[in-house]
Amino acid sequence: MRDAEGRALTAAKEKKAAEIRAGEVEVHAADFRDEVRHLVSARLPALALNLISSHHPVPGLLDQNLAGSDDGLLLDSVLEHVSVSLLKERRRVDAAARAALRGTNQDAQALSYRLQTEIDELQHEFSAPQSLTSRLLQADHLNEQLLRLLQKSAVAYGAWPGHVRKDTYVTEIIGGASSRLRGFERIQIISRLRSSDIGVVGRAAEPIAMACAELMANALEHSRDDLMVEVSVLQTGNGNVCITFDDSGTGMTAEATVRGTRLLSGNQQEVMLTELGDPPSQGFAAVGRLVADYGFAVSINHQSAYGGVRAVLSIPPNLLTSMNEEAKPPSAMAPLPASAPQVRKRSVPAQPAASEPSRSPAAAAAAPELPQRNRRTVAVSATEDVAPRYVPQDPRRAQDTWNDFQEGLASGRATTDSEETP
């Protein structure tokens, strides 16, 4: 009888324990289902956004007690595998899109170069009416702007600049880059180079010109239409040539500066199209790819003297060369080199002759007459300069020369126009 009661009591305890364990399992299963629902509805969508921008955080587990447990590690491994799969697929799709855009831009760029050649040949037709020549100049400038946009897009998507130059003067590169922009008349180029024969090697001339054009375009865009953009070039003591771009805009936010510095560093070769914004901002991405490929440097983490942004493009000595100014003279439109600083010499006062010790008449008569050397003192003017001063050209004389050329050209065209007029 007692054995039967004991077995019944033991069975009741085991049943109760089983019910408790079943309840715990049910609670654990319910909690795990809630974590899975949270994973699918909140964490995975947030992960997709986080892969685009780190500003979108990924939520954690609902129950932090699961962190480090088998269930928590299992859910985190799901996030990791999904992240790897999404990145691979994004890179594949992005590579296909960049390849398509790169091919399209390169074809359009080639056609734009052909159009530029045709317009350039038509500009040299002096028999054309003056009004047509003026329209051709406008068309040429519009084509230059279109070519810059196509070139920027192609380089940002992995293409090369598409144009090869010979060794080119630094000042000509800056001037040519400004001519590709709308509003180029607002750009003031100042040369602080002490020598006018400094050039850039041919393989880096077009990439540096393209980078200068993009930095100037950014400065023009962020400055009012009535404000100038100052571009200055100088050679530093370590041999680098630095080109600075100062705008008068409102500056950049800390976030924009960090993002721009990352793009311009050249360390991130593969830039996702989704990271360029909508519409995509391709300028910094294109310059960053050129920095990585050709070895110059660009920084934007400076403030200009006018409250805007100062961008600095630094060209290392291995990309510089010395040009033969007699074989290839610089362009007449290039800014003149800076004159050497005027160093004034101190005047040297004449030193009075040292008094000779008095000698007795007998000693003077006995001593032989020796040749004497007279000390000469060179008088140096206090205003004498070490280097000759630079004498600027007379603007009136240059204007008269240009007017004579325009009058001769107009008289020649007038004869042609009268022959063509019915």
DSSP string, 129-171: -HHHHHHHHHHHHHHHHHHHHHHHHHHHTT---S-----EEHH
Q: How far apart are CA 286 and CA 282, in angstroms?
A: 6
User: Encoding tokens for residue 341?
Assistant: 């600083």
CA-based nearest residue to 240, from 183, 296, 287: 296
| The pLDDT of residue 51 | 81
Helical ranges in 166-240 per DSSP H? 170-178, 202-221
CA-based nearest residue to 192, from 333, 389, 341, 338: 338
* CA dist list (Å): 405 to 52, 396, 397: 59, 14, 13
Strand order, beta sheet including 309-315 = 187-191, 229-235, 241-246, 309-315, 297-303
| The pLDDT of residue 315 | 94
Q: 3-class SS at 3?
A: helix
Q: Are 113 and 147 in contact (CB under 8 A)?
A: yes
| The pLDDT of residue 396 | 67
Rg (the chain; Cα; Å): 38
| The pLDDT of residue 408 | 72
Q: Which residues of the chain have pLDDT under 70?
A: 1-2, 19, 23-25, 27, 126-128, 268-270, 330-396, 398-399, 402, 409-410, 412-422
Q: Are 242 and 233 in contact (CB under 8 A)?
A: yes
| The pLDDT of residue 362 | 47
| The pLDDT of residue 382 | 43
CA-based nearest residue to 208, from 159, 236, 243: 243
Going by their DSSP bridges, the two strands 241-246 and 229-235 should be labelled as antiparallel
Q: 3-class SS at 279?
A: coil
Going by their DSSP bridges, the two strands 320-322 and 198-200 should be labelled as antiparallel
CA-based nearest residue to 300, from 238, 241, 239, 214: 214
Contacts of 141 (CB under 8 A, 6+ apart): 179
| The pLDDT of residue 306 | 82
Q: Are 82 and 49 in contact (CB under 8 A)?
A: no
Q: Are 49 and 83 in contact (CB under 8 A)?
A: no
Contacts of 97 (CB under 8 A, 6+ apart): 273
| The pLDDT of residue 349 | 56
- The beta strands (E) that lie in 266-420 are given as 297-303, 309-315, 320-322
Run of H or E including 234: strand 229-235
